[in-house]
Amino acid sequence: MADLRQSYEKGALDRADLPDDPMALFLAWFEDAREGGVAEPNAMTLATVSASGEPSARVVLLKGADARGFAFYTNLESRKSREVKATGRAALVFWWEPLQRQVRVEGPVEPVPAPEADAYYASRPRGSRLGAWASPQSEVIPSRDVLETRQAEAEARFEGESIPRPDFWGGWRVVPERVEFWQGRPSRLHDRFRYTRDAASGDGGLWRVDRLAP
């Protein structure tokens, strides 16, 4: 695989370019990704750890980013949710290859409030809402027929009616304690800046910024 190599030359990141709040830079980079040819800019790797210390990772979709953190939605009985409940922490990675940029997020996880989860669930396509009822996420099933049968049963159950959010489906929000921005540079001398929330500030609103070696 030695030939799978490219030179990163599409940008640079300087300390003078960084705002005080990492979310401001994340949202700016996210818009760059939306406009820069990234097919699904909200795709992110979510890493969790079990109570026994076994790590796991998967790609999920970001469904909200603001001053509170980074929100996603899932089955609350899935493996990822069980691990979030066990440790209370998670990490995220965004990789936007056309821009040669990466963002890493680490921090505690909190539930998305029910009214907010209800509003997002109601915005989903009908098939996706039925799918939430049909899929026992992360459980072993004997065949795809199980899913299709459960989907048909859910369709019949809610025919002609609105589909309520299942009590086993909701959202999690990763509250950032550390956010790292990575911009590819030539010769593997990439620009890396890490924001770390300053616990000593009292209100948790201040961030320390450090440049990291690539």
Q: Which residues pair with 162 in a beta bridge?
A: none
pLDDT in tens, 134-150: 999 999 999 999 999 99
Model pLDDT, residue 200: 67
Q: What number of CA atoms fall less than 13 Å from residue 152's CA on the CB side?
A: 6
38 is in an annotated binding site: no
- Confidence grade of residue 194 (pLDDT, cut at 50, 70, 90): very high
195 is in an annotated binding site: no
The distance between the two most distant Cα atoms of the chain, rounded to a whole number of Å, is: 60
182 is in an annotated binding site: yes
| Mean pLDDT score, 33-52 | 97
| Mean pLDDT score, 4-25 | 91
Question: Residue 18 to residues 13, 46, 60, 73, 130: CA-CA distances in angstroms?
Answer: 8, 25, 27, 30, 43
| Mean pLDDT score, 169-198 | 97
Count of positions (residues) in the chain: 214
- Confidence grade of residue 201 (pLDDT, cut at 50, 70, 90): low
Q: Which residues are catalytic?
A: 188
| Mean pLDDT score, 166-185 | 98
Burial 171-205 (b: 16+ CB within 10 A, else e): bbbbbbbbbbbbbbbeeeebbbbbbbbeeeeeeee
Q: Which domains does the chain have, with CATH numbers?
A: 15-124+165-212 (2.30.110.10)
Tell me which of 12 and 204 has the higher pLDDT.
Answer: 12
Model pLDDT, residue 6: 82
Model pLDDT, residue 202: 52
62 is in an annotated binding site: yes
58 is in an annotated binding site: yes
- Confidence grade of residue 62 (pLDDT, cut at 50, 70, 90): very high
pLDDT in tens, 63-112: 999 999 999 999 999 999 999 999 999 999 999 999 999 999 999 999 99
Rg (alpha carbons) of the chain, rounded to whole number: 20
Q: Considering only CA atoms, which of 105, 46, 44 is closest in space to residue 80?
A: 46
The crossing angle, in degrees rounded to 10, of helices 144-157 and 126-134 is: 120
Task: Give the contacts of 54 (CB within 8 A, at least 6 positions apart).
Answer: none
Residues 198 and 202: their CA atoms lie apart, in Å, by 8
Name the residue type at position 168. F
Computed over every residue of the chain, the mean pLDDT equals 95
138 is in an annotated binding site: yes
pTM recorded for the entire structure = 0.93
- Residue 153 above 90 pLDDT? yes
- Cβ 168 vs Cβ 117: under 8 Å: no
Residues 93 and 86: their CA atoms lie apart, in Å, by 21
Model pLDDT, residue 78: 97
State what percent of residues in the chain have pLDDT above 90: 90
Q: 21: which 2 tokens?
A: 């709040």
